[in-house]
Amino acid sequence: MPAFKTLDDLDDGQRVLVRLDLNSPVEDGQVQDNRRFDRHAETVRELADRDFAVVLMAHQGRPGRDTFVSLEQHADILADHVGRPVQFVPDTFGDRAISAINDLDGGEVLLLENTRMCDEELPEEEPTVKAETEFVRALAPEFDAYVNDAYSAAHRSHASLVGFPLALPAYAGRVMETEYEANTAIAEREFDGNVTMVVGGTKATDVIDVMTALEDKVNDFLLGGIAGELFLRAADVPVGRDIEGMDLFDEQWEENEETIEHILDEYQTQIHLALDLAFEDEDGERDEIEVEDIAEKDRAFLDVGSNTVSEYAAFVENSEAVFVKGALGLFEDERFADGTVGVLEAIAETDCFSVVGGGDTSRAIEMYGLSEDDFDHVSIAGGAYIRALTGERLVGVEALQSGN
């Protein structure tokens, strides 16, 4: 059990400051609705129903990027999910924010402006330093308690995440609680049978870190995506050609070649590589080729093939627990979704303990009509999920734990 307090330990009707992670894709200035809103709405609704005056903090993007925008749109999207109005004030901790907080009654919800618009939020510093910022010192006296629900940002030592737990009694929100439990399961739980990990996606370094950290915990790694092709390359298969506009292979190969070759050599029996791969033929259709028939690096591969899916599905069926990190193909294009979706379907049909993580990969569940209920947990975390899998500590979680 996590050594942090939860909403069950909090008396109703108080004034609470709640950190969410509503960091979202932004297209042409429009904030895109996504699963983070839906998940956090549960925590917000519970607090409002219990008559708390609920003040929310969250971040969006990083200074200098197109995604660094106000949280005004987030308030409207969140209100739809919570089923209650969510007021918004374009201020982080100044007079306007304090006045809006003072005007808030029990059962009402207010969202403050993007925490990263406050200069003291971002530089990564020790919690004790963050607790002394004006940001924390101005807001904390307005509240009885601080709730952190932003598991997916818990790897950042920012003021809104690590400063407030030192200034107020601190509690974990419902998202924090469930994400923590599921994502640390691979490190902390003992499973009776086989533990399988599906690793794909575009980030070779992440995949390598996960495999190295979990070699004792995981019986079988099923590889796909760009990472899988880099491992095939290490096994002397001439693959890893980029599609136009993407530079996914050569740089990552140069950076990771030695480590990939070492891992392949060291953990041979645990590592399973694609048997066949899919590509786009001259007519724009999906076609497949056996890996052993690939003679030249003359085309880009965009998915694992159907024999690979069958083999990977068989591993899944014999597993006690399956963890997923990264997609097996370019699933956003329907022609190349078979690998990712086929393996997710196999997991959904099997009665194993399952966790699916990674912002992109978990999107495939929604896109292809799978039900989240068929998985034990679908994480809304990216960087924090990887860190949890590799056993790395999360400062935001530690700040909650040390306050108790």
Ligand X SMILES: Nc1ncnc2c1ncn2[C@@H]1O[C@H](COP(=O)(O)OP(=O)(O)OP(=O)(O)O)[C@@H](O)[C@H]1O
Ligand Y SMILES: O=C(O)[C@H](O)COP(=O)(O)O
Residue 153 binding partner per list ligand X, ligand Y, none, with a CB distance cut-off of 5 to 8 Å that depends on partner kind: ligand Y
Residue 332 counted as an annotated binding residue: yes
Q: What's phi and psi for 28, nearest 5 deg?
A: 50, 45
Q: Which does 189 bind (CB under 5 to 8 A by kind): ligand X, ligand Y, none?
A: none
Tokens (6 digits) for 300? 């880009």
DSSP 106-158: TT-EEEE--GGGSTTTSS---HHHHHTSHHHHHHGGG-SEEEE--GGGTTS--
Applying CB under 6 A, the span of 94-102, 148-156, 244-252, 316-324 interacting with ligand Y comes to: 148-156
Neighbours of 81 (CB within 10 A): 18
Closest to 404 in 3D by CA, of 189, 148, 160: 148
Assess 21 for contact with ligand Y (CB under 6 A). yes
What part of residues 144-203 is at the interface with ligand X (CB under 6 A)? 200-203
Pick what 200 binds: ligand X, ligand Y, none; C-beta below 5 to 8 Å, kind-dependent.
Answer: ligand X
Q: Are 197 and 221 in contact (CB under 8 A)?
A: yes
> What, of ligand Y, ligand X, none, does residue 186 touch, CB below 5 to 8 Å by kind?
none
Q: Does residue 189 touch ligand Y according to CB under 6 A? A: no
Say if strands 276-280 and 170-172 run parallel, antiparallel, or are unpaired.
Answer: unpaired
Give the C-alpha separation, 377 to 357, whole Å.
8
Q: Is 326 in the site for ligand Y (CB under 6 A)?
A: no
Residue closer to ligand Y by CB (options 65, 189) is 65
Q: Which of residues 357-396 bind ligand X (CB under 6 A)?
A: 358-361, 382
Under 8 Å between Cβ of 243 and 300: yes
Instruction: Kindly list the residues in this chain that would bind ligand Y in the complex (CB under 6 A).
Output: 21, 23, 62, 152-153, 156, 382-383
Instruction: Kindly list the residues in this chain that would bind ligand X in the complex (CB under 6 A).
Output: 200-203, 225-226, 301-302, 325-327, 329-332, 358-361, 382
Binding site residue list for substrate: 21-23, 36, 59-62, 116, 156
Binding site residue list for (2R)-3-phosphoglycerate: 36, 116, 156
